[in-house]
Amino acid sequence: MNIASFASAHKKLVTVGFILLVLIFLATLPLYGNDYYINLLTTILMYTILAVSWAMFSGATGYMSLATAAFFGVGIMAMAFLYGTLPFPVIVVIGGVLASALAFLIGLVTLRLKGIYFAIFTFGFVMFISQTAYYTDVNILGNAWGHELPLMDPGMLHYAMLGLTVMTLLTIYFIRRSRYGLALLSIGGSEEAAEHMGINTTMTKIVLFTISSVFMGAAGAIYAPALIHVEARIAFNVFNSFVPILMAIFGGMGQLYGPVVGAAVFGYLDRTLRVELQEYFMLAFGIILVAVILFLPNGIVGLLPTLQERLRRLTARLRKGGETEQHANT
């Protein structure tokens, strides 16, 4: 039995084994990794949460939300303001709840907007909240120098982010498999038909948009200490709205693990390329993305079936070759 046929025969086993290996690696990393790598992986996990949550709603429905940075930023600001007054996990929950409350309000007013209007509104909203929060923080609350968060153990932040990642992935895995996942997809397919087939599309959109933002807010709260210095314009950086989208597109949105792969690859490139090839980073970023959009409409993971097929054919040919050789010998 060769590797390819074993993999196809025990697909579930291989998948579970692979996930376990990754989890073990991530869970034991703080024991032997240095701070640089721990930080890198925490960042990748953070991006994973953003990309997967974004893709759950926007990937399925086609409603392009650019509000990710707003939800993420609300989590960061929650931690900045509340750090030290409440236990860390409680603040993370508060970050998630505040973000989802905001998402609920945005959903209530904007999910009637279609296509580009929804995208533009959410984009404008990030700008609005960024400026408003900055003004309030500096001029009304008097935090002219932002907020300093004490240095926290990177290993502890890593475990918190890992825990949240697992929770996010599990929740979204089950949502995608459930009837609500089907409802979201049908809205993306044809909202009018979805509505006529008995789906309360407005409700579905608002509820799932709200759920997706919980994880974004919580991720922001956990990530805040890693920033050390927090101010509103950093917390609500609109870059954080686009990066998860690029990751999700790059990885492919058809599968749950697409955005995960995208976040891992991009998160890594982000850190390494930015250090080594500063000027070329954005250029490389752009070229890779254009290439993926043009040639891999289903993202990097869309390549997988093709590769599997190639591998299968290759092994089949090798085996055939072996057999003919045997025949020749007899």
Partner 1 sequence: MPILEGQGVTKYFGGLAAVSKVDFAVDHGEIVGLIGPNGAGKTTLFNLISGTYPLSSGEVRFKGQKLNGLKPHRICRMGLSRTFQETKVFGNMPVLQNVLVGAFFGTPTHVSGADAAKEASRALEFVGLSAMAGYPIQDLTLVNQKRVEVARALATKPELLLLDELMAGLNPAEVSEAMGLVKRIRDRGITIFMVEHVMKAIMGVCGRIMVLHHGEKIAEGTCNEISCNKTVIDIYLGEETHAGS
Assess 64 for contact with partner 1 (CB under 8 A): no
Assess 179 for contact with partner 1 (CB under 8 A): yes
Assess 200 for contact with partner 1 (CB under 8 A): yes
Return the number of the residue (150 or 198) whose C-beta is nearest partner 1.
Answer: 198
Q: At what angle do helices 239-251 and 68-82 cross, to 10 degrees?
A: 130
Q: Which stretch binds partner 1 (CB under 8 A): 73-81, 160-168, 191-199, 244-252?
A: 191-199
Assess 255 for contact with partner 1 (CB under 8 A): no
Assess 196 for contact with partner 1 (CB under 8 A): yes
Assess 90 for contact with partner 1 (CB under 8 A): no
- Here the tokens at position 220 are 């922001």
Q: Which of 193, 228, 282, 287 binds partner 1 (CB under 8 A)?
A: 193
Q: What is the Cα–Cα distance from 26 to 260, expressed in whole angstroms?
A: 14
Provide the b/e sequence for 259-297 (b: ≥16 CB within 10 Å): bbbbbbbbbeebbebeeeeeeebeeebeebeeebeeebe
Q: Express the helix, strand and coil content of the chain in percent, nearest 5 each.
A: 85, 0, 15
Q: Is 112 helix (H, G, I), strand (E, B) or coil?
A: coil
What is the closest distance, in whole angstroms, from the C-beta atom of residue 299 to partner 1 in the complex? Answer: 15
Assess 189 for contact with partner 1 (CB under 8 A): yes
DSSP 170-183: HHHHHHHHSHHHHH
Return the number of the residue (141 or 197) whose C-beta is nearest partner 1.
Answer: 197
Assess 301 for contact with partner 1 (CB under 8 A): no
Assess 190 for contact with partner 1 (CB under 8 A): yes
The residue ranges that bind partner 1 (CB under 8 A) are: 179, 182-183, 185-186, 188-190, 192-201
